[in-house]
């Protein structure tokens, strides 16, 4: 016999929708950056996938994003597991802010740097090597 009361759900450590959103927002910003650079300066950005050094930079950037996303989601899962039975307090909020800050600063900012500065660095290196 059902009473009409909602069934109590078991707390989950799986990252919540808002945590996935915080993961995706910097990725959307990176995608917008890459697309805007590609449409404005296609030859400049093409250096990243035409030159062997650029391919290594892109490979490292994708690897950095994958490792960072895995660590961020793992950190969110651990945080959710520790706060599953209690209320979300100030400590959990500070930890979540730290996870997001680490994701953006340590993992997303270097990828933006590669997209913005990488082609120029490759062109400078090539011009210096061709003079010598």
- Give pLDDT tens digits for 28-49: 999 999 999 999 999 999 999 9
The CA distance from 27 to 35, in Å, is: 12
The CA distance from 19 to 76, in Å, is: 7
How deeply is 95 buried, as exposed, middle or buried, from its count of CB atoms within 10 A (0-12, 13-18, 19+)? middle
Give residue 5's pLDDT.
58
Give residue 13's pLDDT.
81
**Sequence ranges of the domains in the chain:** 44-131
Give residue 89's pLDDT.
85
Write the CB contacts of 89 (distance below 8 Å, at least 6 apart in sequence): 83
Give residue 83's pLDDT.
85
Q: How far from 29 is each of 43, 67, 80, 114, 121, CA to CA, in Å?
A: 21, 18, 26, 14, 22
Give residue 96's pLDDT.
93
Give residue 7's pLDDT.
60
Nearest to 10 by CA among 120, 84, 78: 84
* Regions of the chain short of the pLDDT cut 50: none
Q: Which residues of 99-114 are buried (b: 16+ CB within 10 A; e: fewer)?
A: bbeebbeebbeebbeb
């Amino acid at each position: 016999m059902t009473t009409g009361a909602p069934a109590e759900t078991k707390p989950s450590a799986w990252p919540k929708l808002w945590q996935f959103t915080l993961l995706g927002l910097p990725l959307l910003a990176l995608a917008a950056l890459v697309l805007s650079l590609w449409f404005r300066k296609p030859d400049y950005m093409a250096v990243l996938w035409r030159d062997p050094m650029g391919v290594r930079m892109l490979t490292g950037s994708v690897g950095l994003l994958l490792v960072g996303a895995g660590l961020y989601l793992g950190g969110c899962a651990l945080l959710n597991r520790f706060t599953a039975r209690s209320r979300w307090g100030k400590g959990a909020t500070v930890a979540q802010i730290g996870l997001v800050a680490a994701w953006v600063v340590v993992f997303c900012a270097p990828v933006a740097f590669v997209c913005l500065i990488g082609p120029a660095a490759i062109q400078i290196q090539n011009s210096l090597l061709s003079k010598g």
